[in-house]
Chain A
Amino acid sequence: MQELDTARQASVRVNRKSDNRVVIEKDLMTEQMVLAMGPQHPSTHGVLKLECFTDGEVITEAIPCLGYLHRCFEKTCERVDYPAVVPYTDRLDYLAAMNSEFAYAIAVEKLLDIEIPRRVEFIRVIVAELNRIASHLVAIGTYGIDLGAFTPFLFCFRDREIILGLLEWASGARMLYNYIWIGGLAYDVPSDFLKRVKEFVAYFRPKAVELCNLLTENEIFVKRTWGIGIMPADVAINYGWSGPMLRGSGVQWDLRRNDPYSIYPELDFKVPVPDGKSSVVGDCLSRHLVRAYEMDESLKIIEQCLDKIPSSEGFNSRSAIPKRIRPKAGEVYGRAENPRGELGFYIESDGKSTKPIRCKARSSCFVNLSAMKDMSKGQLIPDLVAIIGSIDIVLGEVDR
Chain B
Amino acid sequence: MEEGKQMSQSLKNSVTAYSIIKEHFGSAISEFDPNETMPFFEVLDVSRWTEIALFMRDNSKLQFNYLACLSGVDYPAEDKVGIVCNCESLGVFNHKLAVKIKCSRQGGSLPSVAYVWHTANWHEREAFDMYGMTFTGHPDLTRILCPDDWVGHPLLKDYKVQETYHGIKVPY
- Tell me the A residues contacting B by CB distance below 8 Å: 66-67, 70, 72, 74-75, 78, 110-111, 234-235, 237-240, 251-253, 258-259, 330-333, 335, 342, 344, 346, 348, 358, 360, 362, 366-367, 370-371, 399-400
CB pair B37–A330 under 8 Å, yes or no, is yes
Q: List 19 A-B residue pairs with CB atoms under 8 Å apart, sorted by A's residue number.
A: A67-B143, A72-B154, A75-B154, A75-B155, A235-B118, A237-B90, A238-B117, A239-B119, A251-B91, A259-B94, A331-B38, A333-B38, A333-B68, A344-B68, A346-B69, A346-B84, A362-B71, A367-B123, A370-B118
Chain A residue numbers with a CB within 8 Å of B123 are 367
7 smallest CB-CB distances across A and B, nearest first, come from A240-B119, A360-B71, A362-B69, A332-B37, A370-B122, A67-B145, A239-B118
Docked complex Cα distance between A366 and B35 (Å)? 29
A183 to nearest B CB, angstroms? 16
Docked complex Cα distance between A395 and B111 (Å)? 29
Q: Kindly state whether residue B146 has any CB partner on chain A within 8 Å.
A: yes
In the complex, the chain A residue whose C-beta lies closest to that of B127 is A360
Q: Per a CB cutoff under 8 Å, which of A251, A259, A331 touches B37?
A: A331
Chain A residue numbers with a CB within 8 Å of B133 are none
Q: Per a CB cutoff under 8 Å, which of A67, A237, A333, A367 touches B65?
A: A237
With contacts A72-B154, A237-B90, A400-B145 known, is A331 near B40, CB below 8 A?
A: yes
A361 to nearest B CB, angstroms? 9
Chain A residue numbers with a CB within 8 Å of B121 are 370
Q: Per a CB cutoff under 8 Å, which of B38, B84, B119, B146 touches A67?
A: B146
In the complex, the chain B residue whose C-beta lies closest to that of A112 is B37
Number of A-B residue pairs, CB cutoff 8 Å, is: 91
A13 to nearest B CB, angstroms? 34
CB pair B68–A335 under 8 Å, yes or no, is yes
Docked complex Cα distance between A367 and B122 (Å)? 8
Q: Kindly state whether residue B62 has any CB partner on chain A within 8 Å.
A: no
Q: Per a CB cutoff under 8 Å, which of B72, B84, B145, B147 touches A399?
A: B145
B128 to nearest A CB, angstroms? 14
CB pair B66–A240 under 8 Å, yes or no, is yes
B136 to nearest A CB, angstroms? 20
Chain B residue numbers with a CB within 8 Å of A70 are 145-146
B171 to nearest A CB, angstroms? 13
Q: Kindly state whether residue B67 has any CB partner on chain A within 8 Å.
A: yes
Docked complex Cα distance between A358 and B76 (Å)? 12
CB pair B117–A240 under 8 Å, yes or no, is yes
Q: Per a CB cutoff under 8 Å, which of A78, A240, A346 touches B71?
A: A346
CB pair B68–A240 under 8 Å, yes or no, is yes
With contacts A75-B154, A237-B90 known, is A344 near B37, CB below 8 A?
A: no
With contacts A237-B66, A237-B91, A331-B84 known, is A371 near B118, CB below 8 A?
A: yes
A341 to nearest B CB, angstroms? 11
B123 to nearest A CB, angstroms? 8
With contacts A66-B145, A74-B130, A399-B145 known, is A332 near B66, CB below 8 A?
A: no
Q: Kindly state whether residue B98 has any CB partner on chain A within 8 Å.
A: yes
Docked complex Cα distance between A235 and B118 (Å)? 9
With contacts A75-B155, A344-B69, A370-B118 known, is A330 near B35, CB below 8 A?
A: yes
Chain B residue numbers with a CB within 8 Å of A342 are 68
Task: State which residues 51-104 of B face A: CB under 8 Å.
Answer: 65-69, 71-74, 84, 86, 90-91, 94, 98
What 14 additional pairs, Cβ within 8 angstroms, besides A333-B98, A362-B68? A66-B145, A67-B144, A67-B145, A237-B90, A237-B91, A238-B117, A238-B118, A238-B119, A333-B37, A333-B69, A346-B69, A348-B73, A360-B71, A362-B69
Docked complex Cα distance between A344 and B119 (Å)? 14
Q: Per a CB cutoff under 8 Å, which of A237, A253, A366 touches B122?
A: A366
Docked complex Cα distance between A110 and B96 (Å)? 16
CB pair B86–A253 under 8 Å, yes or no, is no
With contacts A237-B90, A332-B38, A400-B145 known, is A358 near B71, CB below 8 A?
A: yes
In the complex, the chain A residue whose C-beta lies closest to that of B73 is A358
Chain A residue numbers with a CB within 8 Å of B119 are 238-240, 367, 370
